Amino acid sequence: MSIIATALKHMLAAGMDHDAIVAAVAEMERDIAPAVDHAADKRREWDRERKRKQRNSSLSGGSPVETGGNQVDAEILSAPEVPPHTPLPNPSNPIPPSPPKGGSSPAEVDQVVTAFSDMARQAGLSVPKAITASRRRSLLLRIEEHGLPAVLDAIERIGRSRFCRGENDRGWRADLDFLCQPKSFVSILEGKYDDRPSHPQQAPPRPQSPSMQRHHEIHSRLKRELYGEPDDEFAGTTVDLAAGDFRSH
């Protein structure tokens, strides 16, 4: 039984009133020292013991150290302290790196760069001299998103485009960075920079219906009769305007 409980028992037996008992218990609590943190004391004691063993190990040159009748390896004693909840690495189960998405490879990037360089020489465009890490990442992304055939098709479209070869109001010319950009790459594939015909082709004349052909024939005959226009190809009979029926049938 604790000290306070024993004191309460005696005070109740003595017939003390409620207020007196409360005051007495409060005074006893102030006099009693706070409880000792036994866990903290054990940690401090263990830390002191570990430091002592490290000092003994350094003095003995790495040989086993006698500690309480047991031999302990000095290297184990000098190892850094590991918190009890820290997870230890598991070398037997390493996590492999994630493979690149889309199946693209550095070899495909080199193939794209070679194709663009060949096209640029033929079209008079800027030939890339340095393939930086940023350019390589962008080309890998374009290959992963659209596939290698689409990237090679975009390069061919740039070579065929007059606009991309500098025939524009600013004299701008396409380069490798233009191919790498996501927005411009999609525009190339969609044909935004393809050449347009210089003059739009005229649609062929629409075939005339029989009633429309008859109307034109009557109109031509009237012109010849009224205005005397010669027509060597006309071989029909003359039309009597007074009695003729010129409605379409």
pLDDT tens sequence across 222-234 = 777 777 655 555 4
Express each pLDDT in 136-194 by its tens digit: 999 999 999 999 999 999 999 999 999 999 999 999 999 999 999 999 999 999 999 99
Predicted model pTM? 0.41
Mean pLDDT of the chain: 75
For every residue of the chain, DSSP letters joined together read --HHHHHHHHHHHTT--HHHHHHHHHHHHHHSPPPP-HHHHHHHHHHHHHHHHHHHHHHHTT--EEETTEEE-HHHHTSPP--TTPPPP-TTSPPPPPPPGGG--HHHHHHHHHHHHHHHHHHT-PPP----HHHHHHHHHHHHHH-HHHHHHHHHHHHH-TTTTT-STT-----HHHHHSHHHHHHHHTTTTS---SSPPPPPPPPPPHHHHHHHHHHHHHHHHHH----TT--S----TTT---S--
